[in-house]
């Protein structure tokens, strides 16, 4: 696979890009980050992720569950209770994901300034 971190055109590289697309999506990053603090119910996740729609949270959770990153537990009570938690593999992503989220949040002002400067030049 060439130098560390480079993705070529091998089948493994294509599959890695597919996974990176999934876990690197903006909603996936926030879901993983939220679940890093512990098991949560759907409504707790929705409340903790500003701007995510019900549908987008549902889709994101299903994709992460399918990839083995999130585990869903359904309790047979009335009304039904569903909880989400990171799997062991999901926990291995936590440091990288949390770092990206913290980086983004700590650079908001600089990014806004850079965008404003770019937009002023582009006009």
- Whole-model pTM: value is 0.76
pLDDT band at 7 (very low <50, low <70, confident <90, very high): low
pLDDT over 50 (residue 29):
yes
Query: What's the first-to-final CA gap in the chain, in angstroms?
Result: 42
Which is it for strands 81-86 and 40-41: parallel, antiparallel or unpaired? antiparallel
pLDDT of residue 82 exceeding 60, the answer is yes
pLDDT of residue 23: 77
Residue 1: pLDDT band by 50, 70, 90 thresholds?
very low
């Amino acid at each position: 696979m060439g130098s560390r971190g480079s993705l070529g055109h091998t089948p493994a590289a294509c599959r890695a890009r597919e996974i990176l697309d999934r876990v690197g999506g903006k909603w996936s990053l926030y879901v993983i980050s939220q679940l890093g603090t512990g098991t949560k119910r759907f409504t707790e996740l929705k409340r903790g992720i500003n701007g995510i729609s019900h549908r987008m949270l549902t889709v994101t959770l299903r994709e992460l569950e399918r990839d083995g990153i999130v585990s869903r537990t359904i309790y047979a009570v009335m009304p039904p209770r569903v909880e989400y938690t990171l799997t062991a593999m999901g926990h291995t992503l936590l440091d990288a994901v949390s770092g990206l989220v913290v980086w983004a949040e700590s650079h908001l002002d600089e990014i806004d300034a850079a965008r404003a400067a770019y937009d002023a030049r582009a006009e």
